[in-house]
Amino acid sequence: MSSGDKLVLVTGGAGYIGSVLVEQLLDGGWSVRTIDKLMFGGDALSSYLSRPGFEFVEGDICNADDLRLALEGADAVVHLAAIVGDPACKKYPELAVKTNKNGSELLCEMAVQAGVNRFIFASTCSNYGAMLQPDGYVDETSPLSPVSLYAELKVNFEKHLLQPNRDDFATVCLRFATAHGLSPRPRFDLTVNEFTRDLVLGKELEIYGEQFWRPYCHTTDLARAAVLALEADATKVAGKAFNVGDTAENYQKKTLVELILERLPQMREKVRYVERSEDPRNYRVNFDRINSELRFKAKKTVADGISEYILAIQSGQIKNPEDRRYTNL
Ligand SMILES: NC(=O)c1ccc[n+]([C@@H]2O[C@H](COP(=O)([O-])OP(=O)(O)OC[C@H]3O[C@@H](n4cnc5c(N)ncnc54)[C@H](O)[C@@H]3O)[C@@H](O)[C@H]2O)c1
Domain with 243 in it: what CATH number?
A: 3.40.50.720
274: in domain? no
- Amino acid 211: pLDDT: 86
Report whether residue 16 contacts ligand 1, using a CB cutoff of 6 Å.
yes
Q: How far is the CA of 80 from the centre of ligand 1 (A)?
A: 5
Q: Which domain holds residue 123?
A: 7-177+219-247
Q: How far is the CA of 269 from the centre of ligand 1 (A)?
A: 35
- Amino acid 281: pLDDT: 62
Residue 31 β-bridge partners: 7
- Amino acid 109: pLDDT: 96
Question: pLDDT digit string (tens) for 168-181?
Answer: 899 999 999 999 99
130: in domain? yes
Report whether residue 151 contacts ligand 1, using a CB cutoff of 6 Å.
no
Residue 146: what are its φ and ψ, rounded to 5°? -60, 140
- Amino acid 279: pLDDT: 55
The atom number, within ligand 1, closest to the CA of 98 reads 31
Q: How far is CA 145 from CA 148, 151, 198, 307, in A?
A: 9, 9, 32, 34
Q: How far is the CA of 312 from the centre of ligand 1 (A)?
A: 22
195: in domain? no
Of 192, 216, 197, 188, the closest CA to residue 284 belongs to 216
The answer to whether the beta carbons of residues 238 and 169 sit under 8 Å apart is no
Helix (H, G, I), strand (E, B) or coil at 254: helix
- Amino acid 164: pLDDT: 62
290: in domain? no
The answer to whether the beta carbons of residues 219 and 181 sit under 8 Å apart is yes
How many domains are contained in the chain?
A: 1
Residue 176 β-bridge partners: 124, 244
Query: What residues of the chain score a pLDDT lower than 50?
Result: none
- What does the mean pLDDT of the chain come to? 94
261: in domain? no
- Amino acid 106: pLDDT: 98
